Structure 1
């Protein structure tokens, strides 16, 4: 395999709650004022991102993995997850509140949907004054109390509301009830799954005037009904070094704030993804230099063992499986 920084064409998703910050803030070529998601790196069937640079341009991510599985993913990732790309990388713009929802864990998702579960993390890129997330319950609740509140229209009274600002980061375990509030632009790293159980949608209607589907019965066995204060990610912002942000069985994320060039070394166990949060940088590997800026994402195959980030100032998330 020829080794170089891989750049993929994002897939834009229109959403009822979407806005225009992907275009106005991140300067993406996203038409329309209700684009809610930019899928940066995806192997999801039917929504696989396509490589746009270098000798493999035109291949989808799954096609590239199929041709060079160990070189792209890393042998350890290949052993754990097979040839299915294990994570999904997005930028999300919520002009309006998202539905209140949750995601099943691995076992339930595998049994019901033949899918990975969905554990995810968020990094807040921009937030309007007063913007909030819903993350979990205010206190432990029983299944019966939850059902009563849902049926009685008082579910929101049971939920925890979390104010946010730029630079905040959160870890959302599968089973945790949650919603991204209106006015928030964020980077999302998640297991490669598009399985969502929507339990409350504020009685909104889609473009055809229809209420969106709810999954209240499916959600009952997937919800974690306990209050858990485990979602705020406290992390260091030391410049010009890797700061551990999130660790999980599914993905590991570091935060980098650089004001000068940085040499990188990798152990070959996993691919590496860089999401640019602010500024610009050039990633150099295999003799190829690829520039990227805020709102763009690059991936290094696992077979790359050395690279260099050249920058006068940037913030990045560095992600491995």
Structure 2
């Protein structure tokens, strides 16, 4: 007899990075004493980094096992037909104490051909930013492959990149092929396709404690860059209280913003799981199986089989994500 599905919480998978810091433990209460934690993988089905349930009767089971056992009850019918036993999204929090490398991600076709992987379309929601912190997104002028390679060779790439100063609540949609980097001082939530494929093109000439540079992927990157992209990466959205406000809607995921200060009756009409990421305050979710609480820096997966539920809070901000 299978356990009935209920709202699921998972153990964060913490990743030390050369550019990481201490904000994930300081601001989001992640369990680490490291001074270089760069990422907290909240929900992951990446091979070797599968999330483990931390609450309720299914505690200790992996997301992979849940997918095999519950299939469309977890994913939704159309998602299960499309993705099978592969969870399509990877949810992260990222703390950049130093600048991340300048990078980009391949599209589905290149990722499948080269890496047997999904591509990596993603979005960012800034949760905290130090004064004068930047994100690098796209180019600041029309750039040809020849011009790009010339700047890469002379280490003047930053001259043609677009730097945006950011603050809490700023949101960016990063399509495959778009050159980008998270700047020092930024803490953000990232929603992306399940993929760990990154093409690093410039890493600020930094070396690790052993004097080694990180690998660059310029041969792979040059035909993965989309030089014809528009500068439409900034996301504008409403912040109307106690309702879902549209942020990003693409073929890989839909993300809404909810600012909550009371009770909100919800219905799942999407034939999909729904993920809630708490980016401020805390909220309760009530289903037929009981109540769960998620606090700032926590993430919850609501299985597709749960069709009606209530969320409430005296003060909370949430990202609502489904496919």
Instruction: Compute the TM-score of the two structures, normalised by the length of structure 1.
Output: 0.98
Aligned pair count reads: 321
SS at match of 2:49: coil
Aligned-residue CA RMSD (Å): 0.9
In the alignment, the residues of structure 2 paired with residue 50 and residue 140 of structure 1 have an alpha-carbon distance, to the nearest angstrom, of 45
> In the alignment, which residue of structure 1 is the partner of 2:70?
68
Q: 1:38 aligns with which of 37, 40, 44?
A: 40
2:112 matches 1:110: yes
How far the C-alpha of 1:81 sits from its partner, in A, is 1.8
Residues 166-181 of structure 1 aligned to structure 2 (within 5 Å): 166-181=168-183
In the alignment, the residues of structure 2 paired with residue 268 and residue 288 of structure 1 have an alpha-carbon distance, to the nearest angstrom, of 22
Q: 1:254 aligns with which of 253, 256, 262?
A: 256
Divergent runs of 4+, >3 A: none
> In the alignment, which residue of structure 2 is the partner of 1:293?
295
In the alignment, the residues of structure 1 paired with residue 43 and residue 296 of structure 2 have an alpha-carbon distance, to the nearest angstrom, of 15
> In the alignment, which residue of structure 1 is the partner of 2:142?
140
| Unmatched segments (≥5 aa) in structure 1 | none
2:79 matches 1:83: no
In the alignment, the residues of structure 2 paired with residue 267 and residue 260 of structure 1 have an alpha-carbon distance, to the nearest angstrom, of 22
In the alignment, the residues of structure 1 paired with residue 117 and residue 101 of structure 2 have an alpha-carbon distance, to the nearest angstrom, of 22
Residues 6-17 of structure 1 aligned to structure 2 (within 5 Å): 6-17=8-19
Q: Deviations over 1:78-111 (max 9, x none)?
A: 1222221001000000000000000000000000
2:104 matches 1:99: no
SS at match of 1:109: helix
How far the C-alpha of 1:268 sits from its partner, in A, is 5.4
Q: Deviations over 1:152-179 (max 9, x none)?
A: 1111111001110101100000000000
The 10-residue stretch of structure 1 (175-184 or 309-318) with the greater mean CA deviation from structure 2: 309-318
Task: Determine if contact 2:260/2:312 at 8 Å carries over to the other structure.
Answer: no
How far the C-alpha of 1:227 sits from its partner, in A, is 5.0
Task: Determine if contact 1:135/1:178 at 8 Å carries over to the other structure.
Answer: yes
2:125 matches 1:126: no
SS at match of 1:31: coil
Residues 112-261 of structure 1 aligned to structure 2 (within 5 Å): 112-261=114-263
Q: Deviations over 1:263-300 (max 9, x none)?
A: 11012510000000111111112322111110000010
Task: Determine if contact 1:268/1:304 at 8 Å carries over to the other structure.
Answer: no
The 10-residue stretch of structure 1 (251-260 or 74-83) with the greater mean CA deviation from structure 2: 74-83
Task: Determine if contact 2:261/2:312 at 8 Å carries over to the other structure.
Answer: no
Task: Determine if contact 2:260/2:314 at 8 Å carries over to the other structure.
Answer: yes
How far the C-alpha of 1:310 sits from its partner, in A, is 2.2
In the alignment, the residues of structure 2 paired with residue 143 and residue 227 of structure 1 have an alpha-carbon distance, to the nearest angstrom, of 13
Q: 2:305 aligns with which of 299, 303, 306?
A: 303
> In the alignment, which residue of structure 2 is the partner of 1:23?
25
Q: 1:278 aligns with which of 263, 277, 280?
A: 280
In the alignment, the residues of structure 2 paired with residue 96 and residue 224 of structure 1 have an alpha-carbon distance, to the nearest angstrom, of 26
Task: Determine if contact 1:133/1:164 at 8 Å carries over to the other structure.
Answer: yes
In the alignment, the residues of structure 2 paired with residue 201 and residue 175 of structure 1 have an alpha-carbon distance, to the nearest angstrom, of 18
| Unmatched segments (≥5 aa) in structure 2 | none
Task: Determine if contact 1:9/1:51 at 8 Å carries over to the other structure.
Answer: yes
